[in-house]
């Protein structure tokens, strides 16, 4: 019985595209049952519809209070009976109740080497800080914004000629589109779990996030 996967987006959906491809070619043992977006104009919705995946819109603008939006999102997610929820370019902050309900089943991808550069505008901040390296992190979602236990990180050297655009492109193409499908594949196979704030890969607690070197061949 394949795992049930729901993907939550707000924007372009490049990570969604990669997750659709990996569920369709069997690298992720899951059925992608729905794409949920808080924006009805998210370009990623075209990709979902083209793939024949049901789309649900939960517009955050329709709710006066953030908790009302979260309740509506939780209802939409619950209806999917998901084994895994992936936030993929989702740009709203989720509060404790929804996160607690899905803790251990909800992953996010963030374009920085967490815990450095939580929040927005990471590529520009990396340049401003003069960081030697940059990358992305897949982590379990916990109530701390961009702060959940990391599963896998991909990193590369920042070059002298880099600007925010070149970094964003390299983070996405050299890191995100590889590490996110891999992490979801491990979770779908039951090879990852979150226990008391510690990420376990099979029967080993991770002392540090996995890396690009841990990618299985079909995700490289």
Contact residues for ligand GRF, defined by CB under 6 A: 9, 11-16, 44, 88-89, 109-111, 136, 172, 176
DSSP codes of every residue in 185-220: HHHHTT-EEEETTEEEETTEE-SS-B-GGG--GGG-
Residue 198's beta-bridge partner residues?
A: 195
- Quick one: tokens of 105? 């089943």
- Residue 196: CB minimum distance to ligand GRF, A: 26
Considering beta carbons, is residue 30 or 45 the nearer one to ligand GRF? 45
- Residue 46: CB minimum distance to ligand GRF, A: 12
Report the Cα 173 to chain-centroid distance in Å: 14
Compute the radius of gyration of the chain from its Cα atoms: 16
The angle at the Cα of 219, spanning 215 to 220, to the nearest 5 degrees, equals 75
Considering beta carbons, is residue 40 or 68 the nearer one to ligand GRF? 40
Catalytic residue selected from 60, 110, 117, 161: 110
* In the complex, residue closest to ligand GRF by CB: 89
Active site (annotated) includes residue 134: no
CA distance 34 to 185: 17
Considering beta carbons, is residue 15 or 182 the nearer one to ligand GRF? 15
Tally of CA atoms within 13 A in the half-sphere of 72 that contains its CB = 16
In 3-state terms, what secondary structure has residue 40? coil
Are the C-beta atoms of 102 and 133 separated by less than 8 Å? no
Considering beta carbons, is residue 57 or 193 the nearer one to ligand GRF? 57
- Residue 129: CB minimum distance to ligand GRF, A: 18
- Residue 90: CB minimum distance to ligand GRF, A: 7
- Which residues are marked as active site? 110
């Amino acid at each position: 019985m394949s795992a049930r996967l729901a993907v939550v987006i707000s924007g372009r959906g490049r990570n969604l595209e990669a997750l659709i491809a990996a569920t369709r070619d069997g690298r992720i043992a899951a059925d992608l049952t729905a794409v949920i977006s808080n924006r009805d104009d998210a370009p990623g919705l075209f990709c979902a519809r083209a793939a024949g995946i049901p789309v649900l819109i939960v517009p955050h603008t329709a709710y006066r209070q953030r908790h009302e939006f979260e309740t509506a999102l939780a209802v939409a997610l619950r209806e999917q009976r998901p084994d895994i929820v992936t936030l993929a370019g989702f740009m709203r902050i989720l509060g404790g109740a929804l996160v607690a309900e899905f803790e251990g089943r909800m992953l996010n991808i963030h374009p920085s080497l967490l815990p450095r550069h939580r929040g927005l505008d990471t590529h520009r901040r990396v340049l401003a800080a003069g960081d030697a390296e940059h990358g992305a992190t897949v982590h379990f979602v916990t109530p701390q914004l961009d702060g959940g236990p990391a599963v896998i990180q991909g990193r590369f050297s920042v070059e002298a000629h880099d600007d925010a655009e070149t970094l964003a492109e390299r983070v996405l193409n050299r890191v995100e589109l590889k590490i996110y499908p891999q992490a979801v594949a491990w979770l779908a196979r039951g090879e990852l779990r979150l226990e008391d704030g510690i990420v376990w890969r099979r029967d080993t607690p991770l002392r540090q996030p996995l890396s690009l070197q841990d990618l299985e061949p079909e995700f490289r």
